[in-house]
Amino acid sequence: MFLGIDGGGTKTEFVLIDAAGRILGVHGEGSLYHHQVGLDGVAANLAKGTAALLAAAGVDRQAINFAFLGLPAYGEDSAVQGQLDALPAAILGHARYRCGNDMICSWAGSLGGEEGISVIAGTGSMAYGESGGLAARAGGWGELFGDEGSAYWIGRAGLTLFARMSDGRASRTPLYELFRRRFALSDDLDLCGFVYGTMNSERNQVAQIARLVADAALDGDWQARAIFDAAAGELAELVDAVWGALNSPREAMRVSYSGGVFNNLGLLLAPFGHALAARGGRYQLVAPAFSPAIGAALYAAHCAMMPLDASAMARLVLESAQIVRPAAPTNLI
């Protein structure tokens, strides 16, 4: 049995599969982003989620052959990496696990562990790819000076657009009144009190505002839709960076995607596909084969040198189409 844990900035998904490609259980839990919840919060959410998953599946933790934990911001802070690596041992009761960045979950899931590039657009953003024995990543620098094309980036762009509309620096299109109603603004500047005070500029809460930008775009707001077009261009540049680092001569490199902005908002995929197509046939956009959490479980099998065979993968495709993915603990992307 193989345990996959796809940790995100907003939510975490746990999946347990076996070597025959059967999905034995799924569970949703809170964030594993240590900058947000702290190391104690990471440990608590890991312990709670693992215990709930194993109890539902009727499996003892010693029965797990291997586990892979995809952690947000893993490998980006050497001061805490050793602590992150050590956390799962007490929870699993053994050392048959590996920690890595959550981008690996998305890559292994969307491409089924095969060569290509995966781009993530959730609360944050990044791209990761493997080809010819090489691996490379781009993006994932965080919300202050990165995460282009992410829900946070879109939400912040929406806030900026509202401010410009309020000042008269941009024409007032549907987003303006949508924001006023959503935040119950009697004075436009009250938005500052809400964002900097009530929300405390929290990463997840700013990312949630991307939904309002999407609603405005669907209501015909060309300026809101332009934000999604710009996001698609930013994500395509991440793919270009990974492609260049892989130094691959291959044409039509397979590219897939994951994350709430692709999955939940419905406005990013088409412009992203157009941006890739404009690269002159360099890329082939493919739909994701599996969720990142199943990707984590597949990568656990890979780490154990027990990859699923063709019949198991075929069964996993069928079973993954039947499962109901756990809801986020809060209404966030």
DSSP 269-308: HHHHHHHHHTTTS-EEE---SS-HHHHHHHHHHHHTT---
18 & 93 share domain: yes
- Asked if residue 175 and residue 32 are part of one domain, the reply reads no
Residue pair 265/257 in contact (Cβ under 8 Å)? The answer is: no
Query: 90 with 185, same domain?
Result: no
The reply to whether 138 and 256 lie within a common domain is yes
Residue 6 and residue 98 in one domain: yes
Do 66 and 159 have their domain in common? no
How far is it, in rounded angstroms, from Cα 251 to Cα 314?
27
Q: In this structure, are 216 and 269 located in the same domain?
A: no
One domain, residues 298 and 200: no
User: Is residue 333 one of the residues assigned to a domain?
Assistant: no
Claim to verify: residue 270 and residue 158 sit in the same structural domain: no
331 occurs within a structural domain: no
Q: Looking at the domain assignment, is residue 108 inside a domain?
A: no
Return the CATH number at 169. 3.30.420.40
Domain count, the chain: 3
Strands 283-285, 12-17: pairing is unpaired
Q: Which domain holds residue 193?
A: 151-221
Same-domain status, 192 and 167: yes
* Coil vs helix vs strand at 189: coil
Whole-structure pTM value: 0.84
The pLDDT tens digits along the chain (333 residues) read: 999 999 976 789 999 999 999 999 999 998 888 878 888 998 999 999 999 999 999 999 999 999 999 998 888 888 888 999 999 999 999 999 999 998 999 999 999 988 999 999 988 899 999 998 899 999 988 788 989 999 999 999 999 999 999 999 999 999 999 999 999 999 999 999 988 988 887 878 899 999 999 999 999 999 999 999 999 999 999 999 999 999 866 678 999 999 889 976 679 999 999 999 999 889 999 999 999 999 999 999 999 999 999 999 999 999 888 875 554 444 333
